[in-house]
Amino acid sequence: MKPVDALSSLKDIDGVYGSFVVDASGGLTLRDLPAIIDNAALREAGPRIARLWGAFPDDDPPEYVLLEFSSHQVFIRKFEAGSLCVFVPPTVNRLALKMAASFVARWLDAELVAAGAALEPSPVSEREPPPPPSAPPPLNPKKTTYFYRGQRYEG
Partner 1 sequence: MSETTAPEAMTMNLGEEGPRDPSRELSATDGVASTREEPSAPESDGAMEVDVEEIPLQLPLQLPPPAATGFQAFLQHANLHNLLQIEGLSRTTGVFLVASQGRRGYLHLSNGDLIHAETGPLTGEAAASEILAWGDGEFKSCARPLAQVATIHSSLQALLLRLATDSDEAAQSQRPAGLAAPRPYEEDKPTEPLLPAPSAEPRQASSLPPPRSSRLPPPLPPRIERDASVSEVLISPTGEMIQGRGAEPDEFSARVAYAARLADLIGRAIRSGTPRALELRGRGTQTSVKWQADGSLAASLELVQSPKVR
What is the binding site for partner 1 (CB under 8 A)?
A: 1, 5-6, 9, 12, 37, 41-42, 44-45, 48-49, 51-52, 54-57, 59-72, 74, 90-91, 94, 100, 102-104, 106-107, 109-110
The values of phi and psi at residue 78, to 5°, are -85, 140
Cα–Cα distance measured from residue 148 to residue 146, given in angstroms and rounded to the nearest whole number: 7
Instruction: Judge whether 89 and 13 are in contact, CB under 8 Å.
Output: no
The values of phi and psi at residue 141, to 5°, are -55, 135
- Residue 137 Cβ vs partner 1, minimum distance, rounded to whole Å: 41
- Residue 90 Cβ vs partner 1, minimum distance, rounded to whole Å: 7
The full 3-state SS of 28-39, as one line of letters, equals EEEEECCCCCCH
Nearer Cβ to partner 1 (69/148): 69
- Residue 123 Cβ vs partner 1, minimum distance, rounded to whole Å: 19
Nearer Cβ to partner 1 (10/118): 10
- Residue 37 Cβ vs partner 1, minimum distance, rounded to whole Å: 6
Nearer Cβ to partner 1 (103/146): 103
Instruction: Judge whether 84 and 74 are in contact, CB under 8 Å.
Output: no
Q: Strand, helix or coil at 56? A: coil
